[in-house]
Amino acid sequence: MSERPVLEAQGVDAGYKRRRRHPATTVLRGVDLVARAGELVAVVGPNGAGKSTLLRTLVGAQAPLAGRVVLDGVEMGALTPRERARRLAVMLTEPVDVGLMTVEAVVALGRLPYRSWLGRRTGDDQSAVDRALVDAGVGELRDRMLSDLSDGERQRVMLARALAQDPAVLVLDEPTAFLDVARRIELAAVLSRLTATTGAAIIMSTHDLGFALRRADQVWLVGGQSTVTASAPEDLAYGGAIAECFAGENMTFDDAAATVVVADTSTSGATVRIEATGRLRQWTEHAVRRAGWAPSEESATVIRVEPGTPCRWRLDGVHGVGFGSMVAHLREPQAVPSMNHVGEL
């Protein structure tokens, strides 16, 4: 990863200008950010915090209300649309209707900022298209019609189109929003690899906090106080910034899981001590919380769980098989003790 800044926000206020005689609406204030070559940046935050406003300002779709955005060493406002398109590529969430075009033809659209007014494709253009197809993992699809592809394949084709621009900065707005779990993991792996192979800075907004904490070099945390906090993901998690940003009713940040989870509160008021280890203990805790109980090493009520597929459990003389029966039993009114006691097994 290079230390060379390719995109900077310097004292930026981001928001919307109203019509005459109406004041502007400022969403984010005093934003200072730096994205460097070869860096993967994740933009995260609650809904309505200003992630989309930030991205629109950074890519020049709307002017900053104050401060400036610098792209590859040049202030954004001083660049022509063609110059901007040679330095920055944007991939949006919404599907793009390109009509009846092959994958290669769609990817070749990324070379438009480099073509002459005659629009003829050069050898350099073809090399860039070939490289982009390979980098995005869709080389074998080049002759297929875009309309015949799955959602995951179409998303990677649009990524290849953006890569064909040979940008210093690639900005993606919720690229995994409409993909299934397998395709999300696949695209996340591609993006992580591309920072090394292309040297571009990749900036993506995402609701997948786990991905941001596992993969990103930087996290830009868009909070609820008109601020953006930028740092390594571990610093934001360890320092409590992520927990504070996502704090809400019945929600908490789980350090071990590296994601926001339902708060560890008991709806029944009952606690239970779990006798199990490893993954068996992990999923027993999950089942116990789902049933409205709270795991506690201090509890006198004990549930003993034995490995197997399905598992076997014992609680207060009651035996059961599988986590489903465990949750069902814990939810029964008679299962909630009037006072914690050790079950006779």
Q: Which two tokens stand for residue 69?
A: 């955005």
Pick the CATH number of 5-254 from 3.30.70.3270, 3.20.20.80, 3.40.50.2020, 3.40.50.300: 3.40.50.300
pLDDT, position 341: 40
Q: Label residue 16 left, alpha or beta by phi (over 0 means left) and psi (-120 to 50 means alpha).
A: beta
Alpha helices, DSSP H, located in the chain: 51-58, 81-87, 103-108, 123-135, 151-164, 181-198, 209-215, 233-238, 241-245, 278-290, 323-330
The residues of the chain that CATH labels 3.40.50.300 are 5-254
Please tell me whether residue 229 adopts helix, strand or coil conformation: strand
pLDDT, position 98: 67
pLDDT, position 189: 85
Q: Which two tokens stand for residue 87?
A: 């330095």
In sequence order, the 6+-apart residues with CB closer than 8 A to the CB of 32 are: 9, 10, 11, 12, 230
Cα–Cα distance, 170 to 161 (Å, whole number)? 11
Q: Low-confidence residues of the chain, pLDDT below 70?
A: 1-2, 18-21, 94-98, 116-121, 248-251, 256-257, 261-268, 337-345
Whether the CB-CB separation of 301 and 316 falls below 8 Å is answered with yes
Whether the CB-CB separation of 259 and 210 falls below 8 Å is answered with yes
Cα–Cα distance, 247 to 232 (Å, whole number)? 20
Instruction: Specify the pTM.
Output: 0.80
pLDDT, position 94: 66
pLDDT, position 35: 96
Kindly report the length of the chain: 345
Burial annotation 26-58 (CB, 10 A radius, 16+ → b, else e): ebbbebebbbbbbbbbbbbbbeebbbbbbbbbb
Cα–Cα distance, 293 to 266 (Å, whole number)? 5
Count of C-beta atoms within a 10 Å radius of residue 73: 11
Cα–Cα distance, 45 to 221 (Å, whole number)? 6
